[in-house]
Amino acid sequence: MLNLFKRFKSGLSETRQAITQRLVSIFSGNNFSAADWAKLEEALYKADFGSATVAHLIHSLKSLKSSDATPTDALKRALLELLEGAEGDVSLASNATADNSLPQVVMLLGVNGAGKTTTAAKIAHYWKQQNRQVLLGSCDTFRAAANQQLKSWADRLQLDCIGSQQGADAAAVAFDACQAGLHRGYERIVLDTAGRLHNKSALLEEIKKMVRVLQKCNPAFPQHRWLVIDGSLGTNSLQQAQVFNEAVPLTGLIVTKLDGTSKGGALVSIFNALHVPIYFVGLGEQAEDLQPFSLNAYIEGLLTQTP
Ligand SMILES: Nc1nc2c(ncn2[C@@H]2O[C@H](COP(=O)(O)OP(=O)(O)OP(=O)(O)O)[C@@H](O)[C@H]2O)c(=O)[nH]1
Ligand SMILES: [Mg+2]
């Protein structure tokens, strides 16, 4: 069983290589030439930190503090500053508005293929491992195979799941799942939804309708509206995130597929654009590869070269 830091480190290996490749001289010394600065800037862009973040990081490095033993320390400090408040509390204990007698309902949103269905199952599995009573709701009624996909995960991981038929009203399925969860005493309800394009207003209207219908089940529902973002799209996913946020105010983020991409730096810009916590990150396809977002493990995974 890999520990958290090892999982982040292995999942972020491509992004780390993008940053540290050919930069050994920079990371080991304090005297940068103009060419070194250019190389570093290029490396940060390659890791898809985005222009505002790159400018901030370079600025921090140029003003190395006495507390920074090395340039790597300065980068770590700058990233910590930029990511303040980014670590979501996956126990949901810090949800100040939570009524403990109610299940906490998490609605997963995102574009096609972002990783919503697999993530729904993985989150449910994670909470089940933490001894929570978790119910899945299969609210993607658009794609024929969606319900089967979630059911198969639920069977494999022995999770409870309210299924649906293709073509059914997604909001009605969500309502039924929450009603069932409420009456049967579940603590967490995780709703998978259909993938939708962020430029199709009818699809975004459907999400708003789902929220309105859930509020009829209980005015507090859904307490959590998390956007699932494909991390391999990097900063290209920023615009979609903003459009979703306008349709339904987001309360959290999940960034999937950080493994197999060098664009893991984009997470910083995405967080800074939305300022909602990152709850989980996807570092591979197995259930255990979805990990609670850890600021320290992320930064170590990006910058630490030693084994
Ligand atoms: N490598 C890797 N693959 C992932 C990760 N998360 C999801 N995937 C894969 O991404 C693909 C799409 O995942 P789904 O969960 O079906 O995505 P979705 O958002 O539900 O897709 P739609 O319902 O079609 O919108 C699957 O092959 C997943 O195994 C991850 O963190 N890492
Ligand atoms: Mg899906």
| Strand duo 188-193 + 104-109: pairing | parallel
Tokens of 226: 């998390």
Question: What distance in Å separates the CA atoms of residue 8 and residue 181, rounded to the nearest whole number?
Answer: 33
- Which structure tokens are listed for 249? 């105010």
State the CATH number of the domain containing residue 64.
1.20.120.140
Instruction: For residue 305, tell me if it sits in a domain.
Output: no
Counting the structural domains of the chain, the total is 2
My answer on whether 77 and 146 are in the same domain is no
Residues 14 and 56 in one domain: yes
User: Where is the domain boundary, 28, 48, 82?
Assistant: 82
Same domain, 117 and 249: yes
**Closest ligand to the CA of 113:** 1
Beta bridge partners of 136: 161, 190
Protein residues with CB under 6 Å of any ligand 1 atom: 110, 112-118, 140, 143, 146, 195, 256-257, 259-260, 282-285, 289
**What 8-state DSSP symbol labels residue 103?**
P
Instruction: Check whether residue 73 and residue 129 sit in a common domain.
Output: no
The pair phi, psi for residue 188, each rounded to 5°, is: -135, 135
Q: What is the CATH number of the domain that holds 272?
A: 3.40.50.300
What is the rounded average pLDDT of the residues 220-230? 97
**69 and 200 housed in the same domain:** no
- Give the range of the structural domain holding residue 56, as residue numbers without chain letter: 4-82
Order the strands of the 160-162 sheet from edge to edge: 160-162, 134-139, 188-193, 104-109, 224-230, 252-256, 278-282, 290-292
pLDDT digits (tens, 9 = 90+) for 107-148: 999 999 999 999 999 999 999 999 999 999 999 999 889 999
pLDDT tens figures, 252-298: 999 999 998 999 999 999 999 999 999 999 999 999 999 999 999 99
Q: Which of 82, 117, 133 is the last residue of a domain?
A: 82
Q: What is the DSSP letter of 287?
A: G
Residues 18 and 70 in one domain: yes
- Report the C-alpha gap between 36 and 63 in whole angstroms: 16
